[in-house]
Amino acid sequence: MSHDFGARPPTLDGKSVRLRRLFGAPSGRALIVPMDHSVTTGPLGHHAHADQLAGVLAGAGADAIVVHKGRARHIDPYHLRSLQLVVHLSAGTALSVDTTGKVLVASVEESLVLGADAVSVHVNIGSPTEAQQLADLGAVAAECSRLGVPLLAMMYHRGLGGSPEGPRVQTLSHLAAIATDLGADVVKLDYAGDPASMNAVVDTCPLPVVVAGGAATHDDHAISLGTEIAETRVAGLSFGRQIFQAAEPERVAAALARRLHNRSESRSLAPA
């Protein structure tokens, strides 16, 4: 499904302006790099890793980073001239009895004070705390609407029962529908496994869909995976570990950015 913001009538509300910045490349797509994992799993490297990686990503052509509010204070604003700042509002740790639990640890207003261009919320469908996570998503969506801030909903089936039953397209489409119905502006999903299945998911969703990279593998696989996903009608990639745990993060990020943004290499985002 096409998500060409340039084709819509000009709008001066804050959310539209910020969405245009996030998907501001000529391709209308975005390479988003989540770096919020340290709350969940622990330090991602040297104390200055976030600032250093932000500089690398800005030079490589990435479009946005996702960090928690405290980590954002340790990133040189110089790097954010070309990178959009997405502040992550959800938290949970791998040390918890329930590793699927997520709580809100920041607000949209706090994020704006930091200079955020957008915010994100993580929702684990199937979690014992699913009801509260859904309520939090709805509440944040309302705050985003009031303040004119785009909301990225990171939607996963991560319940205690393990992998979801039934067709993967059906499950991912359901997650996208939840994000849409509760007021998100962009939805992040796992990869459906193949281009045709991913397109089938995208075609059910009116929101821009960005695809998660999953656990780190090796550099060439990350580029290959991103290239395959970029062949679909998704609005972008949200690759975190595949980039910041890469042997050569700049090479991987630059390759993925080129693949997303080079129209001569990309298929049309319009429905077939």
Q: Beta-carbon neighbour count of residue 228 at 10 Å?
A: 15
- In the chain, which ranges are continuous DSSP H helix? 14-22, 38-41, 49-60, 69-72, 108-113, 130-147, 168-181, 195-202, 219-230, 241-244, 249-261
Q: What does the pLDDT read at residue 12?
A: 74
Average pLDDT score over the chain? 89
Where does the pLDDT of residue 264 fall: very low under 50, low under 70, confident under 90, or very high at 90 and above? very low
Under DSSP, is residue 13 helix (H, G, I), strand (E, B) or coil?
coil
Distance, CA of 86 to CA of 185 (rounded, Å): 13
Where does the pLDDT of residue 208 fall: very low under 50, low under 70, confident under 90, or very high at 90 and above? very high
Q: What does the pLDDT read at residue 119?
A: 98
The mean-pLDDT minimum among 2-16, 42-56, 120-134, 185-199 falls in 2-16
pTM score: 0.90
Geometric angle at alpha carbon 90, from 89 and 94, rounded to 5°: 145
pLDDT of 222 strictly over 90: yes
pLDDT of 163 strictly over 80: no
Distances (CA, A) of 100 to 139, 155, 184: 20, 12, 20
Where does the pLDDT of residue 8 fall: very low under 50, low under 70, confident under 90, or very high at 90 and above? low
Where does the pLDDT of residue 10 fall: very low under 50, low under 70, confident under 90, or very high at 90 and above? low
Most confident of 10-24, 45-59, 114-128, 213-227: 114-128
User: What pLDDT digit, counting tens, does each position of 172-207 carry?
Assistant: 999 999 999 999 999 999 999 999 999 999 999 999
What is the set of active-site residues?
36, 156, 188
Percent of the chain with pLDDT strictly greater than 70? 89
Q: Are 223 and 254 in contact (CB under 8 A)?
A: no
Q: Which of 234, 200, 237, 201 is nearest to 222 (CA)?
A: 237
Q: What does the pLDDT read at residue 7?
A: 53
pLDDT of 110 strictly over 70: yes
At the second CATH level, the architecture of 5-261 is: Alpha-Beta Barrel (3.20)
Q: According to the 3-state scheme, what is the secondary structure of 227-249?
A: HHHHCCCCCEEECCHHHHCCCCH
The H-or-E segment that residue 209 falls in is: strand 209-212
Average pLDDT over residues 163-174: 77
For CA atoms 223, 1, 191, 211, the dihedral sign is positive
